[in-house]
Chains A and B, each alone.
Chain A
Amino acid sequence: MKVKILRQQFPSSEPYWEIFEYDGPENNSVAGVLDYINYHDDIADITGRKTTRIGWECSCLQGICGSCAMVINGRPALACETFVKDLKGKDIEIRPLQKFPVIKDLITDRSSIQENLMKTNIYIGEYQPSGEEEHLHQYTAAKCLKCGLCLEVCPNYVDGRTFYGAAFANDCYLVSARNHTKAKEIGKVYDAHFGNACSKSLSCMDVCPMNIPTIASVARLNRK
C-alpha cells in the first residue's frame, strides 16, 4: 500500500509530496501507519531514498485528545481512529489541516482556537445558571477537543480572524448556560464571530469526533 504525505520541513519552507510503502498490519489506524513508517526501520521513501522522519502529534491515541487531526483521503479526521481497512481506494493520502499554519509536516499551529476564546472572554466567571440546567447537552458540548476538524471542513471558516467556527459556538453556549449575567455579552461576541456568518452547512457535525450537536448549541444561543 502506498502512503502519500504532504510534507513541509519548516513553517516558511515549500510543501512537497513524498510517497512511502506501507506493509504493516491491515487493522492499523493511520496513527499506527505513521508510527510504523517512522520507526519500523530507517526511514526511506518508496524509491529507497533516505529521508527525514515524518512530524505529527499524538497524545492519547484513542480519540479523546484531538492531537492527531489531519486530512486523510480528503476528509478531516483524527488519525488514531481512522482505520486503514475502512478507507476507500488502495492508497492513502495524508495532508496537514489546511486552515492552520504548518509547523512541520502534519503538525499545525492551532493556537488561534484558544486565542479567539481568550480575546472574547469566553469564561464563566461566577457560576449563576438560569433556571433548570440542561446537563446532557452541557456534558456533550464540554467534550469538545479543540482539535480543529470542524473548522477545517467549515465553508465559512477561513483563518479564524473574523469567523471563529463551531468550537467557539459550543463554548459560548457553555458560558451563557452557566452564567446568565454574562449571556448578553456572550450573545454579542457570538453574533459577531459566529451567528451572523454561519451558513448552516452543518458539515462541522459530520466530522466532529465527539459527535457534538453544534446545531443544538446554536439553537439555544439564537433563542436568547
Chain B
Amino acid sequence: MKDVIVIGSGIAGMSCAVRCAQMGVHVTLVSPFPSERSQSVMAAGGINAVLPEPEEGDSIASHIADTLKGSGYLAGEKAVTGLCEGAGGIIAFLERIGTVFSRDASGRPMRRAFGGQSHKRTYYCGASTGKQIVSALVMEVRRFEAAGLIERKLRCCFHSALIRDGACYGALLFDETSWQLISLCADALVIATGGQNALFGKTTGSTQCDGYAAGRLFMQGAVLKNLEFIQYHPTTLETPQKKMLVSEAARGEGGRLFYLENGRRVYFMEDKFGPGGNLMTRDVVSREICRTGKEVFLDVSFLGRKAIDERLPEVRDLCARYRGIDIAKDPIPVVPSVHFFMGGLAVHLNHETSIRDLFAIGECASMYHGANRLGGNSLLAALYSGFVAAEEIAARPGKESWPDFSGDLKREEAALKLGMSSESSFPVMYIRDMLAETMRDHLGIVRSEESLAKGLEEIDYYLSVAERIRYDSSVLPYFNYSITGILTIARATLQCARARTESRGAHIRSDYPETDPGRQFATLVSFDQGGCRVWLDKEHIYES
C-alpha cells in the first residue's frame, strides 16, 4: 500500500487525506492541533459553484471568466477551468458527507452575491461555512481512521522535507510530546499548511499559519510563486487583540460602505462604480478605502434586525462581543487588513511542486487566484486542490526504495540540540514581532522601491541576528527553529514585490501605478546560494 504524509489538517489537508483513503492510499495526517483549531474554521462567507439551475444567465464559463478577470489575468486558464468545472462535484461531495448548507423553503442550498462576480453563485452555511465543512470532514476522516487508512499524528510540527536528487522521500517532524525529531518516509509528501500570516503578525487568520513550511522548502530548493500578491480584506474590525474579519457576506447581503464628510454620508464606492460598487473585488475596495484617507464605515442596519439575525448572526455577534456595536442600529467601522496570500509554493496542474513527489495544496500553494482572489474561491480551491493532488498520487507507481537519510536526521538533531542548549537574551518572538512591523510598514497596500529596499535591509539584519542567537528555552523549539524559514520567505516576498514594476491586482506600486501588459506573467523565485533569483514565468512552466 502506498504511503502519503499530509502536513496540515485543515480543509485542504483533510480533503486530500479523504480522497487518498478512498483510493486505498494510506495517509499520515500531521498537525500540531486537531482540525477544529485550523484556520479553515474561520472561513465565513461561502464556496463558489455553478450548479444545475443557476441564477439566470450564469454558467461555468462565467465563473471561469470572473475568476480570470479577478486574478488580473495571472491565474492559468487551464487550472481555473478545472477548478470551476470541478465545483459541482465538490458541492455534491460536501452534501454527501453532511455539510449543513443554508437552504431555502424548498430545501435547495441558497446562494449569495460575492465581490467581483457577475452572478450569485456563492453557496454558504450561515456565516460559518468553513466550520461546517470542517465538522463534516472531521467525521469523514474519522471513518477512514477507523478503517486504518488515515492515521492522525497530533502535536507534531513540520521540520523539513527529505529530499535527494530533486525528489522528495518524506519528512522530518518535530514531536512535541517527546521533544525529538522523527524521520518519516513516504511515497509522497503533501504540504497543506495555509498562508504565511506570521509575516504580518496577527492577521484576520490563525496565529498557527506562519509560512515556515513554504520558507523551509524554498531553502531546500522548491520554487515559490507570486509572493507579492497579498490580499487585504477591505472590511475588518479593529479590536485590541487583532483585526477581525467582517465577512464579505455583509456586503453580499447589501451592506454599503461610506465615510462622513461634514456630517453627510459619502457612499464612495457607489459614487465611483455605480450601484454594484460595494461588491467590487477585494483589491479594488481596499485600495479605494485606503485612498479616502478617512475612517470608513459599513452599514447593514437598513436590512433590519430580522434579516440580520437570519443572515448575518455571526457578524452581529462579533461586532457586539468585541466592540459593543449593535449592527442593527449602528454602522461598523472597518479597515483593510491582511487576509489571504495568493502566492506560495509554485505547483503544476497536478499540484506537484518543482520537487518530484512533493505536493502543495490549499493556501500555501499558488495556483488559482493570480493577483487577487475572489471571495468564495478559496474554500473551493482548498477542496479541489486536495482532490487533484490525491488523484495524482494514487495514479503513480509507489517508490521501490528510499535513500538513507540517517545522516540528515543526525545533522538536524545536532543543530536542534545546539540551539536548545542555552538561553537567549533576544527571544525569537521579538524577532517575529519586528518582522511583522517591517512587513506592515514596507509591504502595505501601496508599495514603492524606496520602502521595499528599506524593508529588505531590515530583514537582512534580522536574518543575521537569527543565525547567531540561541533558542528561547521557554517557548516550544518549533518557534525557535522556524524563524529562519519565516524570515527567508519574508525576504523573498519583498524581492518579488520589488521586481514587479507595475500595479496589478493586490500589488500596487506608487512609483509604477499602471498595469504593464508586458508583465502579464506569474513571478517565480528560487533560493540561490542564500539570495533570491526572481523571474517571470514567460514559458508558463507552472500552467502545465
Contacts and interface: CB of A to CB of B under 8 A. Distances in A.
Same complex: yes
Interface of A: 25, 27-29, 31-32, 35, 38-39, 43, 52-53, 57-67, 80-81, 111, 114, 117-118, 121-125, 127, 135, 138-139, 142-147, 171, 174-175, 178
B143 to A, nearest CB: 4
Nearest to B99: A142
B145 interface: yes
Highest count of chain B CB atoms <10 Å: which of A39, A43, A80, A143: A143
B36 A122 contact: no
B126 A29 contact: no
Interface string B130-144: 011001100110110
B142 A32 contact: no
Contacts of A118: 142, 145-146
Nearest to A52: B474
Nearest to B44: A64
Contact of A53 (B42, B102, B474): B474
Given A32-B240, A118-B145, A122-B139, A62 B37 contact: no
B100 A27 contact: no
B39 A60 contact: yes
B58 interface: no
B357 interface: no
A67 B143 contact: no
6 contacts: A27-B240, A31-B241, A60-B39, A61-B202, A124-B143, A143-B135
Contacts of A25: 240
A67 B97 contact: no
Interface in B352-387: none
A39 B240 contact: no
- Which range contains the number of B residues in contact with the other chain? 35 or more
Contacts of A147: 36
Given A52-B474, A80-B241, A127-B96, A117 B142 contact: yes
Nearest to B135: A142
B146 A67 contact: no
B132 A59 contact: no
A64 B38 CA distance: 10
A123 B34 CA distance: 16
A127 B39 contact: no
Contacts of B429: 38-39, 53
Given A59-B208, A64-B41, A135 B240 contact: no
A61 B429 CA distance: 18
> Counting chain A CB atoms within 10 Å of each CB, which of B143, B430, B474 scores highest?
B474
A29 B139 contact: no
A13 to B, nearest CB: 14
A123 B36 contact: no
Contact of A111 (B42, B132, B154, B207): B154
Contacts of B321: 63, 81
A139 B135 CA distance: 10
Which of B37, B140, B241, B430 has the most chain A CB atoms closer than 10 A to its own CB?
B241
Contacts of B97: 124, 127
Given A60-B41, A142-B100, 7 more contacts: A38-B429, A43-B474, A62-B244, A64-B41, A123-B140, A135-B103, A139-B132
Contact of B37 (A28, A35, A59, A124): A59
A87 B241 CA distance: 17
Interface in B141-162: 142-143, 145-146, 154
- Pick the 8 closest A-B CB pairs, nearest first: A52-B474, A123-B143, A142-B135, A53-B474, A139-B100, A123-B142, A59-B206, A123-B139
A64 B131 contact: yes
A142 B37 contact: no
Contacts of A143: 128, 131-132, 135
